[in-house]
Amino acid sequence: MKARIIIVGGDKNVYFLTRQFIQRGDHVTIINRHPIRSRELARQTKATVVLGDGADISRLEEAGARRADVLLSLTSHDQDNLVICQIAKKIFGVPRTLALVNDPDNEVVFQKLGVDVVFNKTKVIVSMIDQIAHFEDIATLMPLAQGRINVTDVVLDAASPAVGKSLQELQLTEGSLIACIIRNDEMVVPRGNTRLLVGDHLILISQPETHEKDLIILCGES
Amino acid sequence: MSHYIIIVGCGRLGSLLANSLSSAGHQLVVIDRNEAKFDKLSTEFSGFKIVGDAIEMSVLRRAHVEKADYLFAITTEDNLNLMVAQIAKIAFNVPHVIARVYDPAREAIYGEFGIETISPTKLAAQAFLDIMRKDV
């Protein structure tokens, strides 16, 4: 389904977001208050760019807020993101508004004040760091299917309970799979009788619900 | 009767209000990001000063917003004033909340949200027009 999306503010991420949305066939309008940035965005993307303050009612009108399906407010000031979403909703009836919050304490208040989706940047980054700190030899390569599948690079160290075992003996949770083993920079195709060694990189495909369990089987309790 | 009053933004208007309300016997808390702004408070000012950003919940909690009778959001930023006013009203149930909003269009919207607003732009325009009407 093609959507009409308005993006207000934001830094480098706006360019990548816009590119992604346009590839999907969505129609994107950007409101940005910086003349140089706006000109760059107009040149680099197929979006319509409106120069000005996103909380200004006439700029929203100009950006087509009346017909927009979604508005994302991504400025670095929480107060601007709140007011922009509220005006978009109240005056223009935009069905879905998303605000970026920088101060994690504001998440609940924003929801109370009528913002549909609150994207808590700090919380997301902290939870990513937590995951990495928890299993430091593990890097998530990519979430697939809207985060329902994880592809992870797991490195085995001497303490890993999986070292010395064959894949058959491992008993990962159902639905998980070791797609590939990288050993001394060479790819080893995993078979049931392949024994795991210290330093092996395992490319693990798993689901979020059982992901942690698989990591414990491979790396032990941390 | 003495009220507990929080003033966000200690510029010309904020300090003027803080000084006169404090000398009238009210309990005042003034919040500003910039400590130097407190220089405008008179030597008789007996309230509290908090350096911090009032859109941070932790700063509002330090000011004991939940106990306030009045909160005036009068920084130079419309959106900041509107956000602080709404947090005070909805999250802390402050009975009287007033925000200064320069943009008359934005002021009109927030009236509908149940936030009391004062637009200096509109007030000044009205004052000019009133004087003109008298002269003509």
User: Any CB–CB contact under 8 A between B80 and chain A?
Assistant: yes
Where a domain ends, among A71, A96, A120?
Answer: A120
Kindly state whether residues A182 and A113 are assigned to the same domain.
no
Q: Which of A56, A79, A112 sits opposite B55 (nearest CB)?
A: A79
- For residues A110 and A206, state if they share a domain: no
CA dihedral A13, A19, A22, A27 (to 10 degrees): 40
Give A29's strand partners.
Answer: A6, A48
Location of structure tokens 């350096």: B51
A77 to chain B: closest CA residue = B80
Is this prediction's ipTM beyond 0.90?
Answer: no
* CATH number of the structural domain spanning residue A111: 3.40.50.720
Q: B130 CA to chain A: closest CA distance, Å?
A: 28
Task: Please check whether residues A163 and A85 belong to one and the same domain.
Answer: no
Contacts of B104 in chain A (CB under 8 A): none
| Domain regions of chain B by residue span | 4-135
The verdict on A169 and A85 lying in the same domain is: no
A125 domain-assigned = no
Could you read off the pLDDT of B45-100 as tens digits, one per residue? 999 999 999 999 899 999 999 999 999 999 999 999 999 999 999 999 999 999 99
- How many domains does chain A contain in total? 2
Mark which of A75, A92, A120 sits at the end of a domain: A120
Residues A91 and A39 in one domain: yes
* Candidates A83, A84, A101, A118, partner chain B, best to mutate (most B CBs within 10 A): A83
- A40-89 pLDDT, tens digit each: 999 999 999 999 999 999 999 999 999 999 999 999 899 999 999 999 99
Q: Round to the nearest angstrom and report the end-to-end CA distance of chain A.
A: 44
Residues near B89 by Cβ (< 8 Å), separated by ≥ 6? B97, B114, B115
Torsion sign (Cα): A119, A120, A126, A127:
negative
**Is residue A127 a part of any domain in this protein?**
no
| Chain A residues touching residue B103 (CB < 8 angstroms) | 55-56
**pLDDT higher than threshold 80 for residue A132:** no
| pLDDT greater at residue A212 or residue A60 | A60
A36: its two tokens: 């140089």
Question: Dihedral angle at the C-alpha atoms of A61, A67, A69, A72, nearest 10 degrees?
Answer: -10
Identify how many contiguous H helices and E strands chain A contains and give both numbers: 8, 11
DSSP codes joined into one string, B100-133: E-S-HHHHHHHHHTT-EEE-HHHHHHHHHHHHHH
Show the tokens assigned to B88: 């005070």
The dihedral sign for the CA sequence A146, A14, B109, B54? positive
User: At A140, is the pLDDT very low, low, confident or very high (cuts 50, 70, 90)?
Assistant: low
Decide: A183 and A142 in contact? Cβ < 8 Å: no
Q: A102 lies in a domain?
A: yes
- The DSSP output letter for B39 is G
Q: Do residue B109 and residue A87 have CB atoms under 8 angstroms apart? A: yes
Is residue B105 classed exposed, middle or buried when 0-12, 13-18 and 19+ CB atoms within 10 A define those classes? middle
- Is A160 within a domain? yes
Instruction: Tell me the nearest-neighbour CA distance from A133 into chain B, angstroms.
Output: 27
Q: CATH says B4-135 is which class?
A: alpha beta
- Full residue range of the structural domain in which residue A34 is found: 4-120
